[in-house]
Amino acid sequence: MEAADLGSERGGQQVIHTLLLLTLVAVQDTAAGKMVYTKWCAGCHGDNGAGDGQGARHMVPPPRDFTGAIYQIRSTPSGQLPTDADLLRSIDEGLGGTAMPGWKSRLSERQRRDVLAYIKTFSTFFADTTQRPQPIAFSKEPGGDGGADALKVGRQFYDSIGCRKCHGDQGRGDGPSAPTLKDDAGHPMFAANLHENWRFNGGGTVEDIYRRLRTGLDGTPMPSFSDLLEQKFLTDEQLWRVAEYVRSLSPKEPPVVRDVIHAPLTKRVPHAPDDSAWTAVDTYWFPLVGQIIRKERWFAPAVSGVWVKAVHTADSIAIRVAWDDRSQSPDTAWLAHLGRVFSTLSDDSTREQPVPWPDQLAVQFPVSSPTGMERPYFLMGSPSAPVYQWRWSSTARATAIAGLARGVDRFDPIQGAGGGIATQSVYDHGEWRVVFTRALASPDTANQLPLRTGRAIPVAFFAWDGSNGEHGTRMAVSTWYFLALDEPVPARVFISPVLAMVLTLGLGMLVIWRAQQKTSYRRQQ
């Protein structure tokens, strides 16, 4: 009761806010908005707002077609126009996980309001000013949130109202319907990976998620669940629990990129990805981006980053790489999706036939430990300066081989069983987990980097999602980072405080003893 009252009060405030904003916007000249639009937006959204700018050919999802007036991020019920405040939010903050940038720091408030007024002129739907879009009177998050019981309720409804059909059992966007999803215009669409809330279009807080559940993302398969509230299938509080459950799947804070992976010294090497020894080891996140330097360029990578852990013993190293991937490729169930990807991205690449490619991962090092800051070209070296790589593929028993890459299109495997590396991998509900192990020393020092303790060893990562059409240069890449095999802490560091104490005490005793000796000696005299 109380929550509902609060909600409508907030709703009222929002209406007033919106009305104020509308009055402001109305007095603005759309000519000024057009100038901003032409300069900053048309390259993606097209001169006439049809979502067909120059850049559009490279993007999944493609830029919004403003002529249809269908918007994802709204405070209004499904099927209705957004409020100006909604549009301004998208313009200010951008849409997470897509090519749509935020403009708050790039354009003045005036410019943002002008361009907002201008994009509304692309559709006649906004012309009828007697029909102002009305925001939903959202409730506030009920108390007692976050506890295990609340999350249990959330999980229960996540299953019963069908979220897992699209988002999958663990929320990584790998549900049974996932390969079939497309937007209203037929473009391929992924169900959001609920483990990466920092990439949600409309923001990643519990409140943002709750709002998206109430409004749906119009133009996409993501429905509104407001009807279920009206039908009393679940209560408003239970829907909040679903939002809390979804929020709990992502880390508390968006991952921070740290430059150096510390591999502590352990007694044994954990070969299996799910070996319990891994739980105590620090995880490092490295974002990946589409490879857009060499043809064929790739603007729509499906793998957004890798989570890395590493440990070493006196003679071996194990590196565990985990990443989210909606499909265990090769998988023919995704061929239709792949066809949609290829027809959406009419970029500089030659048209290919969709083929069920495998998933792949590469871990890259220099061939020898660099002495200064110099490192080979991060994009797989060059013919004269090769890089040393471990290449894993989901086909052929999901094994890996070591070899030398001399640029993006040449890889020479090192002879012998896997080129000296061993791998174990697991695919589990939308996540790959792969452990690579190798001896630290290498008999073939000309081709294989000897891994030594106490040095910063450059390392980089590459990933391919086969079901998304990724192979060859169509891949996700990282830049160089570093791996450090931590040295055993020298014994003297442990002893020294104790030793210092013994010494101080000892010296003190000695001084007292000497003093006493002296006095007694004097006394004797």
Q: Which residues bind ligand HEC (CB under 6 A)?
A: 40-41, 43-45, 55, 59, 61, 63-64, 71-73, 87, 90-91, 95, 98-100, 103, 115, 119, 158, 161-163, 165-167, 177, 181, 189, 191-192, 194, 200-202, 209, 212-213, 217, 220-223, 225, 242, 246
Q: Which is nearer to ligand HEC, 166 or 362 (CB)?
A: 166
Task: Select 207 or 428, whichever has its Cβ closest to ligand HEC.
Answer: 207
- Residues 110/91, Cβ–Cβ less than 8 Å: no
Report how far Cα 220 is from the mean position of its chain's Cα atoms. 21
Q: SS3 breakdown of the chain: % helix, strand, coil, rounded to 5?
A: 35, 15, 50
Residue pair 461/363 in contact by the 8 Å Cβ criterion = yes
Nearest residue (CB) to ligand HEC, 205 versus 453: 205
d(C-alpha 19, C-alpha 83), whole Å: 9
Nearer to ligand HEC, 99 or 439 (CB): 99
CA distances (Å), 286 to each of 160, 337, 487, in order? 35, 27, 24
Nearer to ligand HEC (CB atom), residue 152 or residue 258 = 152
The residue among 223 and 255 lying less far from ligand HEC, judged by its C-beta, is 223
CB atoms within 10 A of CB 427: 18
What is the closest distance, in whole angstroms, from the C-beta atom of residue 114 to ligand HEC in the complex? 10
Which residues partner with 438 through β-bridges?
A: 317, 421
Shortest CB 109 distance to ligand HEC, Å: 13
Torsion, Cα 294 296 297 299, to 10 degrees, reads -160
Nearest approach, Cβ of 96 to ligand HEC (angstroms)? 7
Q: How far is the CB of 189 from ligand HEC (least distance, A)?
A: 5
Q: Nearest approach, Cβ of 186 to ligand HEC (angstroms)?
A: 13
- What φ, ψ does residue 314 adopt, rounded to 5°? -65, -25
Closer to ligand HEC by Cβ: residue 191 or 449:
191
Say if CB 384 and CB 374 are below 8 A apart.
Answer: no
Q: How far is the CB of 213 from ligand HEC (least distance, A)?
A: 6
Q: Is the peptide bond before 109 cis (omega within 30 degrees of 0)?
A: no
> Is there a contact between 73 and 64 (Cβ–Cβ < 8 Å)?
no
Q: Minimum CB separation from ligand HEC for residue 480, in Å?
A: 26
